[in-house]
Amino acid sequence: MNHDNYDDNYIRSILNGVKSIAMVGASPVNVRPSYFAFKYLAQRGYDMIPVNPGHVGKNLLGKPFVASLSDISRPVDMIDIFRNSSHIMPVVDEALTLSPPPKVIWMQLGARDDAAAEKAEAAGLKVVMNRCPKIEYGRLSSEISWMGVNSRTLSSKRAPIPTQGMRLSLNRTSVGGGATAASDRAAKNKSEPT
């Protein structure tokens, strides 16, 4: 696997195939990147599990923190690692002891450990490094293009304005929260006969 450049279909298959995500290094502090990513993915219908031993006894968006992956009492499809590269191998080692093991190891932006990736792939897991599932979801679902971000997806058709309950290209339902007066007017005007 070339971990310097991922095919969109590879990322799409992961985001469409997983249902539960354990986020190692999740934070309840609402200005931390892990908080934003956790909230975004939870709002897209993923079963999110916050993993951080420093916050056991607290909740993140109603989900109780667990101290480690081994404390999770149900199968997990994906491990999203929000730790720096020096902490990745122990997380992968612990993930490989789970029964059943996860399907995916995902390392966040700035995080890369080729030896850990090789170990996970040898065990049959898919691996993504130095990427954010929140960003990849937004890019592949076209949500991000409405914020003026180049999604690197070519099309002659403009992406539809995401509205509450709308089915997106990643087979997830959109949620409210990104609405503005301008986007509300555009959606209203589009739905009214001219």
CATH of the domain at 167: 3.40.50.720
Cα 92 from chain centroid (whole Å): 17
Number of domains, the chain = 1
Average pLDDT estimate for 43-54:
96
Distances (CA, A) of 83 to 27, 116, 163, 181: 11, 13, 33, 37
pLDDT in tens, 86-139: 999 999 999 999 999 999 999 999 999 999 999 999 999 999 999 999 999 988
DSSP 158: P
Which domain does 86 fall in, by range?
A: 1-194
The reported pLDDT for the residue numbered 142 is 73
Q: How far apart are CA 140 and CA 169, in angstroms?
A: 7
The reported pLDDT for the residue numbered 178 is 45
pLDDT at 83 over 60: yes
The reported pLDDT for the residue numbered 180 is 45
Residues in a beta bridge with 173: 167
Distances (CA, A) of 2 to 55, 118, 121, 173: 35, 11, 12, 31
| Percentage, residues of the chain above pLDDT 70 | 74
Average pLDDT estimate for 138-143:
80
Cα 1 from chain centroid (whole Å): 20
DSSP 159: P
pLDDT in tens, 3-40: 999 999 999 999 999 999 999 999 999 999 999 999 99
